[in-house]
Amino acid sequence: MPEPVLSVRGLRTHFVTPERTVKAVDGLSYDLFPGKTLAVVGESGSGKSVHALSILGLLPMPPAKIVAGEILFRGKDLLKMKTEELRAVRGDRVAMIFQEPMTSLNPVMRVGEQIAETVILHQGKTREAARAKAIDLLKKVGIPHPEERVDDFPHQFSGGMRQRAMIAIALSCEPDVLIADEPTTALDVTIQAQILELMKDLQREYKMAIVLITHNIGVVAEMADDVVVMYAGRPVETASVGELFKDPKHPYTRGLLASVPSIYERKERLEAIPGQPPDLGAGSVAGCPFTARCAVALERCGADDPPQFHLKGGRMSNCWKCEGESEERSHRFADASGSAK
């Protein structure tokens, strides 16, 4: 088994204000392997984006606070790194693309300069060499006439082209890990299809690992090798994409999959999950956060927080119903796993 390139261990990111503490991420663990895509799936407020920003140290602290956990990149804890060390990793070995290509590019800087900036910073290239590299990268991500477009400003690009430019920046140093936070959510479906295809091609070429953060189940099915489903800041289920869709173990995953309308079949009714996700700022709730919406909740679910049960085939589920199927805990997560009591 190859070594994971990125391991998150029991990550807890809280937002602490005088009035209240919001446990945005509360005990997330996973392994990302080289060349693979891991999808982190969840709805708004599930903590999926906050976890990504925690990895790269991009959260404003305070109010954000990483209360516990480790983020190991090639065995080194990013959370323990000094600012300078982290800066050398960020954008170079671990790069990120954001949801809003509109707001994540600098509007008063030419697209080419924004790509060149990264190359100059991390690879110490000259301006001329960096510009040539920027043109190369724009070509690689499929921008027509890159020699001319390299001097355009972001507003001269369409939404899809901006996302391509963002990907060019992220790829400029051939990172080991690409964190993509809802990379296609703001795009039309035909453009989304182009961007996903581009990401897959580039992943093959650079052998990158991708953390794909999304709420779109269709995108997960298309892109992911492994999936972590998050709910209310917790991981509720981890499995390979095939296993997850074939046999979801956690009631939330089952509900989520059933509530997605499919283009291939017309269902009379969708099986919606009743109720609303919990308010994370409203103080800690005893037990499993999904209890109130769960159709199969047991009595203990409202009182005892389920730990992460390790099931066959490397799957994990945080549901008491899976206790019976649980195998012995792997050593890997035993010490750092946040959800263990």
Partner 1 sequence: MSATPILEVSGLKKHYSSRAGLFGDKTTVKAVDGVSFSVMPQESFAVVGESGCGKTTLGKLVLALEKPTEGRVLFDGADTAAMSGADLKRMRSQMQVIFQDPYSSLNPRMTVEDIICEPWIIHGMHQEPAVRAAKLAKLLDDCGIAKSFLNRHPHEFSGGQRQRVGIARALALDPRLVVADEPVSALDVSIQAQILNLLKDLQKERKLAYLFISHDFSVVRHLCTRIAVMYLGRVVETADSETLFNDPQHPYTEALLSAVPVPDPSIEKRRKRILLTGDVPSPLKPPSGCRFHPRCRYLKDACRTDDPALAESRPGHFAACPVLPFKDKRSDAALVALSNDARK
Q: Where on the chain is the footprint of partner 1 (CB under 8 A)?
A: 43-44, 144, 158, 160-161, 188-194, 196-197, 215-222, 224, 241-242, 245-246, 255-264, 266-267, 269-274, 276-277
- Closer of 122 and 149 to partner 1 (Cβ): 149
Which letter does DSSP use for residue 185 in this model? T
As measured in angstroms, the least distance from the Cβ of 290 to partner 1 is 11
| Contacts (Cβ under 8 Å, ≥6 apart) of 290 | 231, 232, 236, 250, 251, 252, 297
Q: Which of 214, 224, 168, 316 is nearest to 33 (CA)?
A: 224
- Closer of 74 and 200 to partner 1 (Cβ): 200
- For residue 87, give the H/E element and its range: helix 83-89
Q: Which token pair is 151?
A: 């001097």
As measured in angstroms, the least distance from the Cβ of 213 to partner 1 is 14
- Closer of 143 and 311 to partner 1 (Cβ): 143
As measured in angstroms, the least distance from the Cβ of 197 to partner 1 is 6
As measured in angstroms, the least distance from the Cβ of 59 to partner 1 is 23
| Contacts (Cβ under 8 Å, ≥6 apart) of 41 | 48, 214, 215, 217, 220, 227, 228, 229, 230, 256
As measured in angstroms, the least distance from the Cβ of 195 to partner 1 is 11
Residue indicated by tokens 């510009």: 131
As measured in angstroms, the least distance from the Cβ of 260 to partner 1 is 5
Which letter does DSSP use for residue 19 in this model? S
As measured in angstroms, the least distance from the Cβ of 70 to partner 1 is 30
Residue indicated by tokens 């001269």: 156
Q: Which token pair is 135?
A: 């043109």
Rounded distance, CA 52 to CA 58, Å? 9
- Closer of 174 and 222 to partner 1 (Cβ): 222
- Closer of 83 and 276 to partner 1 (Cβ): 276
- Closer of 69 and 235 to partner 1 (Cβ): 235
Query: Taking the C-alpha atoms of 204, 172, 241 and 49 in order, what is their torsion angle to the nearest 10 degrees?
Result: 180
- Closer of 121 and 153 to partner 1 (Cβ): 153
